Amino acid sequence: MREYKKPELLVTAKNLTEVDQLLSAGADALELGGNGYGLRSSGEFSLEMIKEALDLAHSRQAKIYVAVNAILHNETLTGLAEYLSKLAEYRVDAVIYGDPAVLVTAQQAAPDLRLHLSSETVSTNVQTLNYWAEKGVKRGYLSRELSLKEVFFIKQRANIEVQILIHGATCIFHSKRELISNYREFLWENSKLDVQYPEQAKLYLLESQRPTEKYPIFEDRHGSHIMNSQDICMIDHLKEFVDAGIDSLKIDGLLHTTEYLIQVTQMYRRALDQAVNTSLTDGFIDEIRKIQPENRPLGTGFYFKEQIY
C-alpha cells in the first residue's frame, strides 16, 4: 500500500485565545502577525504574545509562523533587525516574508531564522521558487491565481516546500491609500466607526452589473484591502493535494469569527486525516455550508479554471 505524506494544516490566529482553541481543533501550525510587519493579519501580536503562543504551540508539537510580509518602506525598516533577532531568540518556526529586505536583514541579524516566501503576486512559476531556494528560503506560498494543474506542475519541479490556500478569502486589491478613512470623512463624520478589522466594519464594494457580488473592503496601517466575494473551499479535494505531495495547506480566518474558524479547522482536520488514509473526503463541504455566512458563498477560486490576466 502506498504511504501518503500528511500535509501540514496551517491556520491564521487573531489572539492567544484562538491560538489555544485552534491547536485543540487540530491545527498543525498557526500564522500570527504583529508589530506592524504583518500584512492583512487577523490580529495584532506583540513580542510577548508571540512568545506565549510559541510556548503553547511547542508544548503540543505544533509550530508558529510569524508574518513579516508587509510592503516595507525605508522608514519601516527601522527596528526590523531587532525584531527578527528577537523572533530567532524565541525560536519561531519560520518568518513569512514578501520583501527581499526581510531576507537580507535576516541573513545579517538572524541567519538561523527559517524563511517562507509569501510574495503571492509573483509566486507563479518554478524558476521563481527555485531562485529563492538558492537564497536559503525553505518554503514558497503559491499565488492564489494558479490552477490546480499549475500548482502540481510547480510542486513536481520546485526545490522548496510548497504552500497553498485551501480555505478562506483572498485579497484582490491593495493600496497604501486610506480609502475608507478618506470616504469616512464625508460619510461618517464624527462617528466612531472602527474599520481596522473587517469583522468590525462590514463594509463592501458592489458591482453595478452584479449587485449581489459583495467585495469586503477594510483598512489597516498598511492601507486598504479589497477581498474577493467568495471563500475558497477545497475540503472535498484534499486527496488530490495529498497525492501531489503539497507540504502545507492554509486556512485563512480573515473575515470570520473564532467560532466559525474553530469548526472549519475541525472539519479540515478530519477530512485531511481521511485523505491521508486514502479514504474519500466527499461530503464535508455540506457540513461547511451549514455554518457558512450568507454573505460569503463558497467557491474553488482559480483551481479549476485558468486565470485571464
Domains, in order of start, for the chain: 8-169+231-292 (3.20.20.70), 173-226 (no CATH)
Q: Dump pLDDT digits (tens) for 15-33.
A: 999 999 999 999 999 999 8
**Other C-beta atoms within 10 Å of 299: how many?**
15
Contacts of 110-118 with CB under 8 Å at 24 or more apart are: 110/84, 110/85, 112/88, 113/84, 113/87, 113/88, 114/138, 116/65, 116/140, 116/141, 116/161, 116/163, 117/141, 117/160, 118/67, 118/69
Q: Dump pLDDT digits (tens) for 122-174.
A: 788 999 999 999 999 999 999 888 999 999 999 999 999 999 999 987 765 55
Q: Dump pLDDT digits (tens) for 201-218.
A: 566 656 667 666 676 676
Residue ranges of alpha helices (H) inside the chain are: 16-25, 47-58, 80-89, 100-109, 126-134, 148-157, 179-187, 198-201, 238-244, 258-276, 284-291
Could you tell me if residue 304 is left (phi over 0), alpha (psi between -120 and 50 degrees) or otherwise beta? alpha
The DSSP bridge partners found for residue 68 are: 97
Q: Which three cell numbers stand for residue 80?
A: 526590523
More reliable by pLDDT, 83 or 305 = 83
Q: Dump pLDDT digits (tens) for 100-135.
A: 999 999 999 999 999 999 866 678 899 999 999 999
pTM comes to: 0.85
**N- to C-terminal Cα distance for the chain?**
42
Instruction: Specify the residue for cell string 452589473.
Output: 209
